[in-house]
């Protein structure tokens, strides 16, 4: 039995959040308070964003890491709100960069308002997050989050240039997913772990980093394996946008010259046909790209598991373990 097959249990985000349910509701309330503005348009965009509330995965990591190592206090609730705020700010900007019309089935800020408003609102949310961080009057969370947001920005820049099939390696890809996804998850765990002092900080940071990489590889795999009715995004959207992810990177060296040429043709076609995208997906599958990406996600997952062995056992640590299964098994 392969490692992937051995992960049979499917866990829901609601079950993972159970040990910190009340605190998470408080984080969402605080989030609403933080973003409030005395300016009608800012408030209108806020209302729109609060309606498309996500899974609150990053605040969940803050709270579970705090609960594992110490206690959740007022400061951890604020940190939960701050990481979600930073996450939402990056998505508002990213949707504008990508010209995406929809996020979580709802119109993006750039689609519903405009690109100008998306840029300004991303800045507004990010700067409010920094104000709240400063108000905590504690240098470590500020140090961690400023490093993370800088890395997120570099990650977005890496993504923008990640379209050259021949020069984008697996190392480049792993650096990219670390910057754009794993860094914030690692930072969320690290600021949460500060509740217990310094003892478990590094282990939880490494856990969050591996979790984030596994999460992003699984996300990129969905683009090859899941149907639109499941993810809300058409299959092959990354290929359509010429985004090179691990399944393709892993399959490429196994392809024959004709197959490789088909991939190269698709990458230069500004409006690729769905049939051509589907053909590439089949080639990637046949050449082992999907299996290889699953295997790499599983390696990150196992490393995340190992990091957790070092932190105190309990309900919160169990939930952190479930986050690993959730990340690599989720369907959307």
CB closer to Mg ion out of 52 and 142: 52
Does position 156 interact with Mg ion (CB under 5 A)? The reply is: no
Minimum CB distance to Mg ion, residue 70 (Å): 35
Does position 98 interact with Mg ion (CB under 5 A)? The reply is: yes
Does position 94 interact with Mg ion (CB under 5 A)? The reply is: yes
Does position 298 interact with Mg ion (CB under 5 A)? The reply is: no
Minimum CB distance to ligand FPP, residue 312 (Å): 30
Instruction: Reduce the secondary structure of the chain to three states and give it as a string.
Output: CCHHHHCCCCCCHHHHHHHHHHHHHHHHHHHHHHHCCCCHHHHHHHHHHHHCCCCCHHHHHHHHHHHHHCCCCHHHHHHHHHHHHHHHHHHHHHHHHHCCCEECCEECHHHHCCHHHHHHHHHHHHHHHHHHHHHCCCHHHHHHHHHHHHHHHHHHHHHHHCCCCCCCCHHHHHHHHHHHHHHHHHHHHHHHHHHHCCCCHHHHHHHHHHHHHHHHHHHHHHHHHCCHHHHCCCCCHHHHCCCCCHHHHHHHHHCCHHHHHHHHHHHHCCCCCHHHHHHHHHHHHHCCHHHHHHHHHHHHHHHHHHHHCCCCCCHHHHHHHHHHHHHHHCCC
Residue from 89, 222, 297, 324 that binds ligand FPP (CB under 6 A)? 89
CB closer to Mg ion out of 92 and 189: 92
CB closer to ligand FPP out of 181 and 327: 181
Q: What string marks each residue from 32 to 71 as x (binds ligand FPP by CB under 6 A) or -?
A: ----------------------------------------
Residue from 80, 122, 141, 289 that binds ligand FPP (CB under 6 A)? 122
Residue from 57, 124, 126, 207 that binds ligand FPP (CB under 6 A)? 126
# chain residues binding ligand FPP, by CB under 6 A: 15
Minimum CB distance to ligand FPP, residue 199 (Å): 29
Q: What string marks each residue from 140 to 159 as x (binds ligand FPP by CB under 6 A) or -?
A: ---------x--xx-xx---
Does position 285 interact with ligand FPP (CB under 6 A)? The reply is: no
Contacts with ligand FPP by CB under 6 A lie at 86, 89-90, 93-94, 98, 122, 126, 149, 152-153, 155-156, 180-181
Contacts with Mg ion by CB under 5 A lie at 94, 98
């Amino acid at each position: 039995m392969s490692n992937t097959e051995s992960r049979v249990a499917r866990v829901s985000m609601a079950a993972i959040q159970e040990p910190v349910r009340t605190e998470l509701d408080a984080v969402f309330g605080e989030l609403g308070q933080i973003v409030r503005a005395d300016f009608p348009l800012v408030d209108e965009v806020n209302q729109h964003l609060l309606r498309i509330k996500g899974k609150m995965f990053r605040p969940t990591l803050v709270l579970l890491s705090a609960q594992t190592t110490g206690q959740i206090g007022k400061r951890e609730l604020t940190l939960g709100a701050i990481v979600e705020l930073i996450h939402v700010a990056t998505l508002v900007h990213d949707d504008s960069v990508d010209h995406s019309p929809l996020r979580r089935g709802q119109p993006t800020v750039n689609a519903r308002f405009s690109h100008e408003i998306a840029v300004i609102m991303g800045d507004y949310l990010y700067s409010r997050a920094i104000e709240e961080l400063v108000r905590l009057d504690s240098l470590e969370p500020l140090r961690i989050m400023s490093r993370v947001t800088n890395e997120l920005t570099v990650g977005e820049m890496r993504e923008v240039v990640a379209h050259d099939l021949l020069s984008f390696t697996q190392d480049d890809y792993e650096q990219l997913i670390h910057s754009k996804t794993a860094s914030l998850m690692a930072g969320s765990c690290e600021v949460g772990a500060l509740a217990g002092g310094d003892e478990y900080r590094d282990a939880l940071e490494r856990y969050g980093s591996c979790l984030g990489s596994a999460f992003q590889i699984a996300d990129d795999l969905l683009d090859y394996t899941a149907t639109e009715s499941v993810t809300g995004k058409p299959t092959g959207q990354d290929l359509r946008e010429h985004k090179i992810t691990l399944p393709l990177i892993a399959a490429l060296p196994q392809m024959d010259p004709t197959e490789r040429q088909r991939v190269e043709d698709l990458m230069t076609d500004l409006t690729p046909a769905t049939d051509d995208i589907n053909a590439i997906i089949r080639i990637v599958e046949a050449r082992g790209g999907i299996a290889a990406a699953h295997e790499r996600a599983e390696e990150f997952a196992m490393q995340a598991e190992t990091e957790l062995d070092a932190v105190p056992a309990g309900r919160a640590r169990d939930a952190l373990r479930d986050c690993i299964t959730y990340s690599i098994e989720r369907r959307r």
